Amino acid sequence: MSDKTENTAKSGFLPIETNWFDRLFISVVIWVALSLFWMRFIEPLGLSVWIAAAISVALGAHIIRKG
């Protein structure tokens, strides 16, 4: 398993070497954090939490492809 992980690990713009699962994990962590932050501070100003979801999906796709 570790051999396979090392083989698929790559260096992108993230400061650590990652495989696709690491990058998916980072994307989900960012999605949850951004959604909670949005619900607490941005949503009361009238911007829907779906905007945070859209930003997270776009950011997640970028991280998975280029991270």
Partner 1 sequence: MQSKKLGWLLLSPTLFILGLFGIFPFIYVVWVSFHEWNPFAANPEKLFNWAENYRKVVFDAQFLASLGVTLAFVFFAVVSEVVIGYLLAQAFMKNFPGKSFFRTIHTLPLIMAPIIVGSIWKLMTTPSIGIIPNLLDTWFGIDLNIGQSALAAFSITVIMDIWHWTPLVTLSLIAALVSLPSDPFEQAQIDGANKRQVFWHITLPMIRPALIATVFIRLMDAMRTVDEVLMLTGGGPGSATRYVGVHIYKEVFPRTNYGYGSAISVIVLYLSIVICWLLYVSLIAPRNKKG
Nearer to partner 1 among residue 32 and residue 47 (C-beta): 32
Reference 60, options 52, 43, 39; nearest CA is 52
- Judged by CB under 8 A, the number of residues near partner 1 is 18
Can you spell out the DSSP letters for 20-54?
HHHHHHHHHHHHHHHHHHIIIIIGGGT--HHHHHH
Q: Binder to partner 1 among 20, 21, 36, 47 (CB under 8 A)?
A: 36
Q: Which residue in the set 8, 21, 25, 57 belongs to the binding site for partner 1 (CB under 8 A)?
A: 25
Q: What is the phi/psi pair of residue 10, to 5°?
A: -140, 165
The residues that touch partner 1, with contacts defined as CB under 8 A, are: 9, 11-17, 25, 29, 32-33, 35-36, 39-40, 43, 49
